[in-house]
Structure 1
Amino acid sequence: MQVDRDPCVYILASQPRGTLYIGVTSSLIQRLYQHRQGITGGFTSRYGVHRLVRFEMFGAMELAIMREKQLKRWHRQWKINLVERDNPHWVDLAIDLGFDPLAPSRAKDGS
């Protein structure tokens, strides 16, 4: 049985210009579900980084991994500029992929 693979590099954000996470996957929908359900644990769960703000599809996983490594080496401002070039309002692109909108984030002081 062959599993469809769609290599992808994606950027998640906690909020516009907030905490960023860059990842690579062969199934963006499955990985987004895992992040949003907290299944992946770690960084994205700890910091509430669940908003899909950019993704790039690739024909081969090796190319996607190379791009992920490149982006992770970039300065933060370069990453922000990359997101804002195509998504200036930091819209959650996961909604167009069939996900429900995220609940508004709450301030850390509880207000």
Structure 2
Amino acid sequence: MLKSISHKKVKTYVGYSINYKRRLIKHNLGKGAKSTRGYKWILIFKKLFRTKSKALKFEYELKKNRKKRLTILQDYYEQRS
């Protein structure tokens, strides 16, 4: 899960990738998903899976579950304090 750092409004993005470091660079260069363009991003959560299907299932669930995303965001802020 990514968090925007370039705007006052907090925006998160959830996506699947085999190489999350390369994907983050693409997003920050404006070459990632359309919804990420115009923002600068940092990685705040990652989870590894043994299969692509399990990863995509988790991605789908996290995209639809705003409460879980908020919990991850709050955990991120708590770790920083």
* TM-score greater than 0.5 by the shorter chain: yes
Provide Cα deviations, 1:39-68, integer angstroms capped at 9, x if missing partner: 22511113x151211111111111100000
Give TM-score scaled by structure 1 length: 0.59
Alignment of 1:6-21 (within 5 A): 11-15=1-5, 18-21=10-13
Q: 1:52 to 1:90 in 2, by over 3 A?
A: farther
Equivalent pairs, count: 78
Task: Give the equivalent residue in structure 1 for 2:69.
Answer: 79
- Structure (1 or 2) with the larger CA radius of gyration: 1
Q: Distance in 1 between matches of 2:15 and 2:33?
A: 14
Alignment of 1:15-94 (within 5 A): 15=5, 18-40=10-32, 42-46=34-38, 48-75=39-66, 77-85=67-75, 87-89=76-78
Q: Which runs of 5+ in 2 are unaligned?
A: none
Give TM-score scaled by structure 2 length: 0.78
Q: Distance in 2 between matches of 1:49 and 1:20?
A: 11
Q: Distance in 1 between matches of 2:79 and 2:30?
A: 21
Task: Give the equivalent residue in structure 2 for 1:102.
Answer: none
Q: 1:80 to 1:14 in 2, by over 3 A?
A: same
Q: Which runs of 5+ in 1 are unaligned?
A: 1-10, 92-111
Q: Point out the structure with the larger strand share.
A: 1
Shift >4 Å, 4+ stretches: none
Q: Point out the structure with the larger helix share.
A: 2
- Aligned-pair identity in percent equals 19
Q: Distance in 1 between matches of 2:54 and 2:73?
A: 20
